[in-house]
Amino acid sequence: MHPKYFLVWWVIVLLLLLGFVASLNYLVDPYGLFGTARISSFNKNKPTASTRVRLVKPYEVVRVKPSTIIVGNSRPEMGLNPNHLCWSVGQQPVYSLTIPGASMYMQMRYTQHALAATSPKLILLGLDFIDFLVDSENNRDPYEWPFKPKEFESRLLVTATGNKNDQYYRQFFEDHFLSSFSFNALTDSVKTLAFQRSPNASTRTELGFNPANDYRDIVRSEGQEVLFRQKNKQVIATFISRNWSIYHAEYSWSHDFEVLKRFIEMSKKNHAKLILFINPYHAHYLESIRQAGLWSLFERWKRVVVQLASHQENISLWDFSGFDDYSTEIEPAVGDLTNTMDWFWEPAHYRAELGDLMIASMLKDSCGAAIGEQFGVLISAENIDQHLLQLRTNSQRYVADNPLVVKHINELITLAKQ
């Protein structure tokens, strides 16, 4: 064959291969980036989407244009269902703009991006005590703003100061190009096709929700006690790793409180109702806080959050963290592969069933009779003292009634300190 014709055929074959790869990646849409229709037994489940959450969600929220957004880390991502029956017609669609492992700053910046693209009427922001902990020796200026630009911010429509982000469309093209033509995307498309028949394949829904299929698979194969044991060790290691404070040294403030303050101001400026909620924790988690010597800091943190939220128009604050019938649920025994808990996956992550009760409480005006017995406490400057006193009383009662749990947590702390 003449070299010229060989080159022509080579180019044609290459273009056909690239076209096939791009078409397959688009149709399968392994990360949910393109918004291709999801078809059962073909591409409905997205087993590799968990590795691309920070890439996909900025583009997905623009596509969905939600009336309500849920913001937070992995806890509300797998705990608050955007398809809950309590969402009113005016509050839909609901999108879960939740990012596992996200700092308060990242959560705020993703929300700022969403507000630049759409006009949600309602924002739910999940708050975590651990996200506000800072090393007591950290003496950085907590009022510094804006922060040094982070890599993830190139995917956001606006900068931290609210100006147009000039990098956005370049990053948009790069992300979509690589998700169309890269070998990694092709590999993930093949994995997506292969895992469609797996009932517990990891996935994210088109509304950003994580149905926690990863946990279901572990519980089914190893038992839920394994999840509890691993998370208890991880949480305790964090709690005792440093001399924690909620303020930077020499200040009565922190970066994360500054971010929360600006989050509140941003919501007001955009005329969105803001519901702040403190995530629920299992009693093991709460007991770990107490035995690590952080309970007074836990209470202090709540008081500062109350100060920021109280007497603000269109803002409410719910506390779901306490010793109650849900958080004191007993985990299955070692090796039990049959029984599962109703309300928690492990000490730090609650199930969507508990999240359903949270949504019903927070949306009681639109939920009506579906709410039943209210879960959680609506807290404010007027009732915070009584609320914290009740939590201490409930903690003391739990300690007295559960000596084996107390001993177990104490042993884990002793081992972690060695």
Axis-axis angle for helices 3-28, 183-194 (nearest 10) = 50
Q: Which pLDDT does position 190 carry in this prediction? A: 96
Look at the chain and report how many structural domains it folds into: 1
Quote the longest CA-to-CA distance of the chain: 89
Nearest to 136 by CA among 239, 237, 248: 248
Q: Which pLDDT does position 197 carry in this prediction? A: 87
Q: Which pLDDT does position 400 carry in this prediction? A: 97
Q: Which pLDDT does position 261 carry in this prediction? A: 97
pTM of the model: 0.94
Nearest to 405 by CA among 294, 325, 330, 326: 330
C-alpha–C-alpha distance, residues 349 and 353, integer Å: 12
- Which tens digit of pLDDT belongs to each residue from 262-292? 999 999 999 999 999 999 999 999 999 999 9
What tokens were used for 265? 């101001």
Instruction: Give the DSSP letter of residue 36.
Output: P
Read off the amino acid at residue 6: F
Only one residue has tokens 């895992």, namely 195
What tokens were used for 93? 């669609």
What tokens were used for 363? 């949306």
Q: What is the 3-state secondary structure (H, E, C) of 147-188?
A: CCCCHHHHHCCECCCCCECCCHHHHHHHHHHHHHHCHHHHHH
C-alpha–C-alpha distance, residues 321 and 306, integer Å: 14
Q: Which pLDDT does position 368 carry in this prediction? A: 58
What tokens were used for 263? 């989050």
User: Which residues, at least 6 apart from 24, have a Cβ–Cβ distance to it below 8 Å?
Assistant: 186, 189
User: Which residues, at least 6 apart from 194, have a Cβ–Cβ distance to it below 8 Å?
Assistant: none
C-beta separation of 387 from 319 below 8 A: yes
Nearest to 317 by CA among 402, 379, 229: 379
Q: Which pLDDT does position 18 carry in this prediction? A: 87
Instruction: Give the DSSP letter of residue 334.
Output: T
Phi/psi for 345 (5° steps) reads -90, -45
Q: Which domain holds residue 22?
A: 3-417
Q: How many CB atoms lie within 10 A of CB 293?
A: 13
Q: Which residues of the chain have pLDDT under 70?
A: 1-2, 4-6, 9, 368-373
Q: Which pLDDT does position 12 carry in this prediction? A: 79
Strand segments (E) across 20-121: 68-72, 94-98
- For residue 56, the Cα-to-chain-centroid distance in whole angstroms is 14
Q: How many CB atoms lie within 10 A of CB 328?
A: 19
Q: Which pLDDT does position 25 carry in this prediction? A: 96
3-state secondary structure of 270: coil
Q: Is the dihedral of CA 5, 9, 15, 18 positive or negative?
A: negative
C-alpha–C-alpha distance, residues 403 and 66, integer Å: 47
